Amino acid sequence: MNLFLHNIGDIDSEHTLISANDSLVADDGKRYDYVLTNPPFGKKSSMTFTNEEGEQEKEELTYNRQDFWATTSNKQLNFVQHIKTMLNTTGKAAVVLPDNVLFEGGAGETVRKKLLDAVDLHTILRLPTGIFYAQGVKANVIFFDAQPAAKNPWKKEIWFYDYRTNIYHTLKKSTIKGRRPERIY
């Protein structure tokens, strides 16, 4: 939407590189070497429509795809699964996600475990609150590399970089010096 608002792309052209479709509905078969994305925050997917009485109603959307590990209405979990599908066998991804996606149970736990088995999730960057969204929303960037199918999980260790501790934001630009990541096995 941001591209269209800035006159980049044409929704009516048959040669546009921008699709106005719901990318979570189905796998279009295209594969990419790199996916860098900030999926929409918000747990529930829904569609708004006008009923017969002319009133607006919302209907919860649950995506049921064979390439997904879990069926859920949680947008962020669906995007993580979709991104994994979109990557070439040696593709790389960086995805901005809120904290709740990394630590919730149910479908979140299933997606997290399958992600650890199917890709090399090598880095989690913990961002200060308010970097991407409203104050109080904690976000992370997860970095992972697709790998060919294997008998054993690809994940050996995950590097955590915590940018939340002792960081104060001002208009003055400064570099991060002397910070060492924690190693988790």
Q: What is the pLDDT of residues 28-74, one digit of tens each?
A: 889 999 999 888 765 555 555 566 777 766 666 677 788 888 888 78
Identify the pLDDT of residue 63. 73
What value does the mean pLDDT of the chain take? 77
Per-residue confidence (pLDDT) for residue 141, from 0 to 100: 93
Better-predicted residue by pLDDT, 173 or 116:
116
AA identity, residue 131: I
pLDDT, tens digit, 9 for 90 and up, residues 130-147? 776 666 778 889 999 998
Provide the terminal-to-terminal Cα distance of the chain, rounded to the nearest Å: 40
pLDDT at 93 over 90: yes
Query: Does residue 2 lie in a domain region?
Result: no
> Does residue 103 fall inside a structural domain?
yes
Q: How many domains does the chain have?
A: 1
The CATH number of whichever domain residue 157 belongs to comes to 3.40.50.150
The mean per-residue pLDDT over the stretch 6-22 comes to 68
In a domain, 6, yes or no: no
Report yes or no on 49 lying in a domain.
yes
In this predicted structure, the answer to whether residue 179 has a pLDDT above a threshold of 70 is no
- Domain extent for 61: 28-165+180-184
| DSSP three-state, residue 45 | coil
Q: 128 lies in a domain?
A: yes
The answer to whether 24 and 71 are in contact (CB under 8 A) is no
- What does the pLDDT read at residue 171? 47
Least confident of 99-103, 112-116, 139-143, 173-177: 173-177
Q: Is residue 65 part of a domain?
A: yes
Contact 107, 79 (CB under 8 A): no
Residue type, 80: V
pTM score: 0.72
**Which range among 40-49, 75-84, 117-126 shows the weakest confidence by mean pLDDT?**
40-49
Let me know if residue 173 belongs to a domain. no
In a domain, 23, yes or no: no
Residue with tokens 């199917």: 118
State residue 185's pLDDT score.
Answer: 44
Mean pLDDT confidence for 89-96: 94
For range 102-122, the mean pLDDT: 87
Both structure tokens of 35: 């996916």
Q: Output the pLDDT for position 116.
A: 87
DSSP 104-171: --THHHHHHHHHHHHEEEEEEEEEPTTSSSSTT--EEEEEEEE----SS-S---EEEEE-STT----S
